[in-house]
Amino acid sequence: MIPIHRRPAADRPENAKFNATLSKLRVRSEHCMGALKGRWQCLRGLRVNINSNSEHVQACRWITIAIILHNMVIDVEGAASGAYFAPPVGSGNGGEDEDDEEALGPDEAEEEGEAKRRHLVQEINTFGR
């Protein structure tokens, strides 16, 4: 997960634009996950140990199937049916924090994350909205 910039770096215009864009994406992502968990209760308690590539693929398939079914239901019932399952804004829909330990050491992960963030800041400011 790429973190937002904190002050004083957040006061720079290019970083402020990045922070705003990232915040909007996170909110949209949380709403999406909340709607899926609201419609498909099996996703709420999906506790899968992922210890191998095949287990990771299996978990991704489980979620992908839920997304496909969700989209099919919306196609049949209309977009309003999807809104019924979306959590109210600010309700804490159970989105998990992604503070899992990195496979890299803490210093390497931080350097890699900072490099990704710099690249994203540059892209957002180059192609802007």
How many domains does the chain contain in total? 1
The mean pLDDT of 9-31, rounded to a whole number, is: 80
**8 A C-beta contact, residue 19 and residue 10:** yes
- Residue type at 107? D
Is residue 80 in some structural domain? yes
Overall pTM > 0.75: no
Residue 69 has pLDDT above 60, yes or no: yes
Q: Is the pLDDT of residue 98 over 50?
A: no
Does some domain include residue 103? no
Q: Is residue 124 part of a domain?
A: no
- Residue 86's contacts (CB-CB under 8 Å, 6 or more residues apart) are 31, 34, 35, 38
Integer Cα distance of 8 and 20 in angstroms: 16
> What mean pLDDT, rounded, does the chain reach?
74
Q: Is residue 62 part of a domain?
A: yes
pLDDT confidence bin for 47, thresholds 50/70/90:
confident
Tokens of 128: 């802007």
Is 52 among the domain residues? yes
Of 97 and 10, the one with more pLDDT: 10
> pLDDT-based confidence at 21, cuts 50/70/90?
confident
Give a yes or no: residue 125 inside a domain: no
Please report whether residue 129 resides in a domain. Answer: no
pLDDT at 92: 47
Of 14-23, 29-38, 57-66, 106-115, which gets the smallest average pLDDT? 106-115
> What range does the domain containing 17 cover?
1-95
